[in-house]
Structure 1
Amino acid sequence: MAVFLLVTSLFVIAINGWSLWNSWQQTVGEKNDDARNLSVSLAKQAEDAFLQVDITLADAVRQLRQRGNDYAATPEFLRQLKEQQGKLPQLHGLFVYDVQGHWIASSGNFVPTNASNADRAYFIWHRTHNDTNLLIGRVIRSRSTGDLVIPVSVRLNDSQGHFAGVALATVRVDYFRQHYSYFALGNKDTLGLILADASALYIRPFPDNVIGRTLSTSPLFKTELKAASSGNATWRSSLDGIVRVFGYARLERYPLIVTAGYDLDNIRREWMAANLINVLLNLALLLAIAGMGFLLLRQVGTNVRNQIELTYVRDELTNINHTLQSLALVDGLTGLANRRQFDALLEQGLLRSLKTGDPISLVMIDIDCFKRFNDTYGHVAGDECLQDVAWALKNSVHFHGDVVARYGGEEFAIIMPNTAASEAKIVAERAVRAVMDLGIAHESTEVPEGIVTISAGYGALVSEGKPAEAEQLKKEADRALYQAKRNGRNRANGPA
């Protein structure tokens, strides 16, 4: 009877616990999807808004350039500027400034006399950079109307390519404020438009003093955007310290990021309210079972209860320790042995060599010009490259006991017990060919083939039981590796 009551209670707890956990995971998953979808949708809206401004500004510059190098503004040109401004609700104004920052043309009705915008950050940037691409700057306050606007500007050049002024379009911050207000969100839910340099352009529902704040310490810029241009994650906001489920998306065409965040506490409260009745009913059932079980099981001796509890705790700790030991010895990205396991296996191999008198060999491997690969293709592609190289290296060893490890960064190592230097050379050269055969494009490499390659150095010794033999073997293989790099990379080199 006691076993039956216990099993029944545990079954009720497990079923309800699993049901609640599954419900919570489903709720969080739906919010993650909602946040990501909302951020992607808003990113598309923002891209369309800035694309329209981009096209309008480019058309105005084209018309202005057709009038000659003096960039003089005719009444017809001013009329066209006003018409173009009226077509776009997000557009605050169109302006043209000469080389001193004086107003040549404006889509507005008021042009300040002798006013100069030469002190504006966008004007200074264009004056000091030859780049004629579109520049989206931080939020400023308009000198003509006092509104908060986002400057979108291009450099004007004369026929000799010298700086001749700036063409500017200003986008209303209130346009995004109004658009974001249409969404029915909680009081602590957020929608944000952020420059790629981490400065805030507008974030709902925060006041205007948040505009211009730098968010570089946010996990969005420290980790998430480095991994993917869009996605979802949960982190604590750097603005108010509230934990939210965020979705984010980087615009493809412009240096802007859109975020959507749902307050995690509010999600939890809504979830608890939706599941409250089920929880109370099941709790009442559990209490009834527990009451009957208590009347029966209180006769069980203290020693038996203690033994059961100790056994349970011991098993849990054993499982945790096994899990931790496994995680501590494997590289999370490549699945190879990590540096800690490498050091342990190398010491074990040296002890075996001391006992048997057989040599042990070590091959040190480095991906050629990997930093340039990351700079050219990004860290996501870099991680994929590391995984492909790890796969190729793992398939290069054919003997039981040989271990491929990730030594650190783009460095790998192969430990080969019972292996002489001549055999290590074969394995090292096989590894070099295996990585070449992957054919991973690498346009910024110094290797003529234009693909990802590796350099390898190998060394071998027979252990004599000296304490510094591991370092000696690593230094020998490392010297050979750098000799291979000096000899032109994409090759294997042995000890001198």
Structure 2
Amino acid sequence: MNRNPGNFAPSGMQSSLGRTMAFFLSLTIFAVVIINIWTLWGSWQHNQKVREEDARNLSVSLAKQAEDAFLQVDITLADAVRQLTINGLDYAATPVFANQLKEQQGKLRQLHGLFIYDAQGKWIATSGNYVPAKGSNADRDYFVWHRTHDDARVRIGHVIRSRSTGDLVIPVSQRLNDSKGNFAGVALATVKVDYFRQFYNYYTLGDRDVLGLILSDTTVLYIRPFPDTAINHSLSTSPLFTTVLKTSSSGSATWRSALDGVERVYGYARLEQYPLIVTAGYDLDKIRSDWFSANIIDVLLNLILLVMISGMGMFVLRQVRKNVRNQVELTQIRDELTTINHTLQSLALIDGLTGLANRRQFDAMLDQILKRSQKSGEPVSLIMFDIDYFKRYNDTYGHVAGDVCLQRVSTILKETTQWQDAVVARYGGEEFAIILPLSGESDAKMIAERAVNAVLAARIPHETSGLSEHVVTLSAGYSSLISDGYSDEAIRLKQQADKALYEAKNNGRNRVHGLT
């Protein structure tokens, strides 16, 4: 009986080895497909997270830049108002005051101009070259607002076009009052929109990536790369104001722009001291395109390797190892950026010239120490110092020598203040401050007198001083209180110390005056 062996021999798929290979092949293809989908998804999620972090870090950085820019203008404006408060509004019409305005404008790149208007909106003084004889700004929004509001704080308004130069400027204004508290005019500083335009242009971004500076009332002050027609546009319908800022003052999120409808990954940060918000947005379509371009080769190679089963294992292993290595490197880079960011945040709390705490750190520490006082029931004292006739010192010896003088005075203050947890800060210009925790009036007086005497003993020459010693001297004012937890205690303590300082200067300078 003839038998065909082929009739009984198992085919490749029916054999155990064939089934095993078919199963292994199917399992391998399935695993490769699943692994690749998972890897690509993880890569996209990681890329998305990195871009969100980039956007958030950029917005925080720009927020700090904007806050510093407006803080400098705020301090300059406050100094002008303080001089007018001390000397009267008529002082604004003097050549000395006009020269001071011009000098202050020259110090700040972002400053377009400084102006003083009387109660009728008439120009009294300006840092510009001329004062219009019949010029009036009574119709300006900021002027109307201050005339109808008693708020003495600085106000940042919508962008306007300067009547003197035609430039787009951001008005930063403050109300002026007469001795009876009635409206006496407005002090105005204008910030150049071009300052932010130029600064934001330093960043290399995509064509549809945006950087924006926005008022908290939703009005655009400047946004790159949109034309100037976008300035003063309201973003009230943007998710930034309808949703995002209601949950966090800084962070990152994805939404469609209310200006052009483009979906972007945004970082956002609200300024602490001023009603401003900074946003940085990366075009989501461009992010996808870049990510796809960076990953398309891997996708094609994996599709080819699905056919080339013999090399698939090694290739996948190499890809996994490569991805792990890349992820580790990205994690290290992220950690390094985080460390750098923390370092920058620390530097932002130190005055670059004197090495003392700056105004931002001073305000934060004063709030903390007042909270401790509320819990412990112990007093807190604040001493305010001012270098006597420091403007004359700068005029006589130059600003470089003035900086050296500030450094020497700051060193003396640190050396003479051996008080536990005391905070020695540069308050602004030639003004310094010392916060003394757990100390009352007697302690504050002792430290203040010690500092004033130490600066006098240093015998720093000052030939144009108005005092007979002809050396650099300090005037000091101090005040103390025990915190009851009221929100205005920090302001009240500073006002009392500043008033005491004012009395010390009025009583002849080079002395200490206390006020509680």
TM-score (norm 2): 0.55
Distance change in 2, residues 1:16/1:68 (3 Å)? same
Q: Secondary structure at the match of 1:167?
A: strand
| Equivalent position of 1:96 in the other structure | 116
The structural deviation recorded for 1:288 is: 6.3
Q: Is the contact made by 1:110 and 1:144 (CA closer than 8 Å) also made in structure 2?
A: no
1:152 equivalent in structure 2: 172
User: 2:251: which partner in 1?
Assistant: 231
- The structure, 1 or 2, with the larger RCO (C-alpha pairs under 8 Å, 6+ apart) is 1
Q: Distance in 2 between matches of 1:173 and 1:199?
A: 14
Matches within 5 A, 1:44-63: 44-63=64-83
Question: Which 5+ residue runs of structure 2 have no aligned equivalent?
Answer: 1-18, 310-484, 488-516
Query: Hey, what's the Cα distance between the residues in 2 that align with 1:226 and 1:73?
Result: 46
- Equivalent residue for 1:343? none
Q: Number of paired residues?
A: 292
1:177 to 197, 209, 227: 197
Asked whether the 8 Å contact 2:92–2:98 carries over to 1, the reply is: no
Percent identity (aligned): 71
For residue 147 of structure 1, what is the amino acid of its counterpart?
D
Let me know the Cα RMSD of the aligned residues. 1.7
Decide whether the 8 Å contact of 1:235 with 1:243 is kept in 2.
Answer: yes
Q: Aligned with 1:192: secondary structure?
A: strand
* Aligned amino acid, residue 283 of structure 1: L
CA displacement, residues 310-341 of structure 1 (integer Å, 9 cap, x when unaligned): xxxxxxxxxxxxxxxxxxxxxxxxxxxxxxxx
Q: 1:182 to 1:72 in 2, by over 3 A?
A: closer
Q: CA deviation at 1:64?
A: 1.8
- CA shift, 1:18, in A, is 1.0
- Name the residue aligned to 1:140: 160
Deviation at 1:73, TM superposition (A): 1.8
Q: What do residues 202-252 of structure 1 show as CA deviations (whole Å, max 9, x unaligned)?
A: 000000000000001000000110000000001111111111000000000
TM-score (ref. length: structure 1) = 0.57
Q: Give the Å deviation of 1:115.
A: 1.0
Of 201, 206, 222, the residue aligned with 1:186 is 206
Which residue of 2 is the match for residue 115 of structure 1? Answer: 135
Match of 1:309 in 2: none
CA contact (8 A) 1:65 1:71 kept: no
Work out whether 1:36 is the aligned partner of 2:56: yes
Q: CA contact under 8 A between 1:234 and 1:245: conserved in structure 2?
A: yes
Secondary structure of the structure 2 residue equivalent to 1:66: helix
- Could you tell me how far 1:10 is from its partner in structure 2? 1.1
1:201 paired with 2:221, answer: yes
- State the Cα deviation string for residues 109-132 of structure 1 (Å, max 9, x = none): 022221110000000000000010
Counterpart Cα distance in 1 of 2:167 and 2:307: 63
Residue type of the alignment partner of 1:103 = W
Whether the 8 Å contact between 2:92 and 2:116 is mirrored in structure 1 is no
Post-superposition offset of 1:9: 1.5
Aligned ranges 1:220-259 → 2 under 5 Å: 220-259=240-279
Q: 1-side partners of 2:93 and 2:244: how far apart?
A: 46
Which secondary structure state, in structure 1, belongs to the residue aligned with residue 37 of structure 2?
helix
1:61-460 to 2 correspondences below 5 Å: 61-70=81-90, 72-286=92-306
Return the alpha-carbon distance in structure 1 between the equivalents of residues 136 and 486 of structure 2.
46
Partner Cα separation in structure 1 for residue 189 and residue 270 of structure 2: 22
Q: Deviations over 1:418-471 (max 9, x none)?
A: xxxxxxxxxxxxxxxxxxxxxxxx999xxxxxxxxxxxxxxxxxxxxxxxxxxx
Counterparts of 1:265 and 1:174 in 2: how far apart (Å)?
Answer: 29
> 1: distance between equivalents of 2:486 and 2:121?
42
Change over 3 Å in CA distance of 1:443–1:117 after alignment to 2 = closer
Indicate if the aligned counterparts of 1:69 and 1:159 stay in contact, CA closer than 8 A: no
Indicate conservation of the 8 Å contact 1:111/1:144, yes or no.
no
Structure 2: which amino acid aligns with 1:14? I
Q: Residue type of the partner of 1:121?
A: D
CA distance in 1, matches of 2:242, 2:91: 44
Partner of 1:439: none
1:284 positional shift: 1.9
Instruction: Name the CA distance, whole Å, in 2 between partners of 1:288 and 1:227.
Output: 52
